[in-house]
Amino acid sequence: MLAKFVQSDGAADVEFVEWWKRAAGESSGRASVLADIRAAVRSASRHPGFPVPHMRNQDAGLLNSDENLEDVPWAADFIGMLGRGPDLDSTEWSDVCDLLLDRHARENTRTAGEFHTPREVARLLVELAPPRAGDRILDPACGSGVLLAAAAQRIAGGVDGATLEAYATDRSNPWLATMNLAMHGVDRPVVRASEPASLFGGRGQGGADLVFSNPPFGQRLGPVEDVGWPFGRPSEHSADFAWLQYIWSRLSENGVGLVVMPAGAAWRHGREAEMRKAMVSGGALQGVIALPPHLFTHTAVPVHIWLLARGKSSRLPAADGDAVVFVDASGLGTQPPRRSRRVLTARDRALIVRCFHEGDHDEPGFSRSVSYREILEQGGGLDPRWYVGAGQEQSAASDTDDLFGELAGSAAKMSRSSHNLAWILETTRLPRDGIVPQHARLRDIVDGKVSDVARDGRAGLLLAGPSGSLVRAEDYQEAGIPVVMPTDLTDSGFDEEGIRRIGEEQAAGLGRFRLRSGDIVLARRGELGRCAVVREAQEGWVCGTGCFVLRPPAVLDADYFAAYLRSAPARTWLQARSTGSLTMKTISLGVLGELPVVLPDLSAQRLIADIMAQVDGHERMLREQLALTRKIRRDALHGLLSG
């Protein structure tokens, strides 16, 4: 932001420009670069045209301390590049900002409930209900401001910050969102920190023409005063329907709300089913879109987009009287090489938007307009797959040309992925002085015996899951809090299909076994070395009896240790010390604590984890190519004979 301001408003003799030039001229990566940047920010933020007043007071990272000097070389190189690089236009500055936010989301596993919304998802929401100049736009859980930034970019002629209303439920996000909005052309943006309970009770400052939001999933609501919920009082165990009702209440007479929701909100039973029925009967719902899994950085969980509209707003021309449009887009998206998540392409988004803006909602296997009566007969369920019929019969034989064309495209992607992976493995060199030469026991790492916990921060925790007497077979139920067993662990995360659940009250009594984002769940029996890193979507789940939970100390990166556990040396070590039968190996907590771990410094750990993520992504592509080849073997013969 400072570099952009220097380019657009900085005269040669202005103080902040001098400080900026001095910082950009540094090439050695010394800490003095940070001092120069701080001086430039202090000077620029006094300028009446600076996009974010009081930036010098920001309490974040490189601007206020020298504690993490390992970041200085990266910062110095980046600042130097900006200082020497060619002039960028406003769109290119925004692209740089978006790329930095994507990197921040990948490297920051603790999101405090607010997921970083991928740019493609943000664009989809904005394309579904394009904002217009003069609209009042709200995001009550804005995170890093991605949705509002996408809306601002869509409006020609710039956006006055007064037309945007933004709140962040994570108090570390307001400054980040403010900077993001300023980089996307919003004049003097204001983002406020606010607790959900205060939002729900206050009802805001009037009607919003548009609401774009990705509120925290599975957040516990707690006790909230009865504020006249329009569709029923939400459960204290989940805030999902509190967010939906708050957003509905904030809409203007013809307002539209587009809300990212967990898939479970469409089919959970009990009080939420009654609220869904009330929303359908009350005409609050225009459509529901099922998106594919793996779209978000730290979770594989698929999500839905709920389209709320007052009076079947003209902003969504697909309004069909007493009906809801369902779109099953769960099969869309591509997984680019070296990327751990799927991406919605412009063509994917156009297919979804067409269902609402071209009036043709009934496409077999993809979209369908469903009457309120049919929805209520289905118990108020709103999962698009129930109505669209993802399993409807398509053509008896797949088109042979399409199949072989898809295989050729897959082979080209595999070739690029192989080349990129080989380049990474050949060019990456770890700093030799960053590796501790001897092995450290896992128990010593967790207990802080290989580092100064007071200096390094968070201490660790290693414990076994609850005994069978605490969670019995008869305690499991259809809905509730998931309990993680070894069979639910995969190298890419957690497999929710078939996962067991217990009631919220019982889970509350198992507090020490409740999972937090950044924890690692390890199998204690069966395939030793199997593990998964807990992301925000699994916050509050329970570690089951067949697992261990490790809460890494500050000196141990969760993704690095998960990769280390899956390695051949670690698996061999565990197998050699296991007990039980040949088909059901078991290890004890004491044995796991003795596991020798090579402990690089954090920067080396993160580099290793990133490389292993690239390897995992390459493996996924190989599996997808194998699945496509098997599909060709199954279907191509009939296509050849009929073609």
**Contacts of range 429-438, beta carbons closer than 8 Å, 24 or more positions apart:** 430/600, 430/604, 430/607, 430/608, 431/603, 431/604, 434/600, 434/601, 434/603, 434/604, 435/598, 435/600, 435/604, 436/598, 436/599, 436/600
**Phi (first) and psi of residue 139, to 5 degrees:** -135, 105
Helices marked H in 514-557 — which ranges? none
What pLDDT, on a 0 to 100 scale, did the predictor assign at position 398? Answer: 45
Q: What is the DSSP secondary structure assignment for residue 546, as one 8-state letter?
A: T
Query: What integer is the mean pLDDT of 224-253?
Result: 86
CATH of the domain at 531: 3.90.220.20
Do 171 and 225 fall into the same domain? yes
Do 173 and 276 fall into the same domain? yes
Do 359 and 244 fall into the same domain? yes
Q: How many domains does the chain have?
A: 3
* 371 assigned to some structural domain: yes
Q: How confident is the model at residue 633 (pLDDT cuts 50, 70, 90)?
A: confident
Residue 392 has pLDDT above 50, yes or no: no
Tokens of 350: 């156009």
Angle at the Cα of 324 from the Cα atoms of 319 and 326, rounded to 5 degrees: 115
List the strands of the sheet with 520-523, edge to edge. 461-464, 547-551, 520-523, 531-533
Do 351 and 473 fall into the same domain? no
Angle at the Cα of 209 from the Cα atoms of 120 and 290, rounded to 5 degrees: 35
Tens digits of per-residue pLDDT, 76-115?
777 877 776 667 776 777 777 778 887 777 666 554 445 5
Q: Quote the domain boundaries for residue 543.
A: 436-599
* 611 assigned to some structural domain: no
Do 70 and 142 fall into the same domain? no
Q: How confident is the model at residue 127 (pLDDT cuts 50, 70, 90)?
A: very high
The secondary element (H helix, E strand) that includes residue 210 is strand 208-213
Residue 184 near residue 153, CB atoms below 8 Å: yes
Residue 594 has pLDDT above 70, yes or no: yes
Do 141 and 256 fall into the same domain? yes
Do 253 and 377 fall into the same domain? yes
* 589 assigned to some structural domain: yes
What pLDDT, on a 0 to 100 scale, did the predictor assign at position 396? Answer: 37
The residue assigned the tokens 């459960």 is 235
* 273 assigned to some structural domain: yes
Residue 641 has pLDDT above 70, yes or no: no
* 26 assigned to some structural domain: yes
* 621 assigned to some structural domain: no
Query: What integer is the mean pLDDT of 185-199?
Result: 80
Residue 443 near residue 462, CB atoms below 8 Å: yes
Do 191 and 223 fall into the same domain? yes
CATH of the domain at 183: 3.40.50.150
Do 381 and 521 fall into the same domain? no
Tens digits of per-residue pLDDT, 548-571?
999 999 889 999 999 999 888 999
Tokens of 405: 């064309």
Do 172 and 209 fall into the same domain? yes
Q: Comparing 264-278, 301-315, 512-526, 533-547, which segment has the lowest mean pLDDT?
A: 301-315
Do 498 and 580 fall into the same domain? yes
Residue 437 has pLDDT above 70, yes or no: no
Do 460 and 558 fall into the same domain? yes
* 557 assigned to some structural domain: yes
What pLDDT, on a 0 to 100 scale, did the predictor assign at position 363? Answer: 85
Residue 259 has pLDDT above 90, yes or no: yes
Residue 144 near residue 176, CB atoms below 8 Å: yes
What pLDDT, on a 0 to 100 scale, did the predictor assign at position 285? Answer: 93
Please indicate, yes or no, whether the overall pTM of this predicted structure exceeds 0.75: no
Q: Is 580 left (phi over 0), alpha (psi -120 to 50) or beta?
A: left
Tens digits of per-residue pLDDT, 323-365?
999 999 988 988 765 556 788 888 999 999 998 887 667 888 8
Residue 428 has pLDDT above 90, yes or no: no
Residue 600 has pLDDT above 50, yes or no: yes
Cα–Cα distance measured from residue 414 to residue 492, given in angstroms and rounded to the nearest whole number: 19
Q: How far is CA 191 from the centre of its chain?
A: 21
What pLDDT, on a 0 to 100 scale, did the predictor assign at position 390? Answer: 40
How far CA 505 is from CA of 15, 60, 274, 411, 502, in Å, comes to 61, 38, 21, 51, 8
Residue 397 has pLDDT above 50, yes or no: no
* 491 assigned to some structural domain: yes
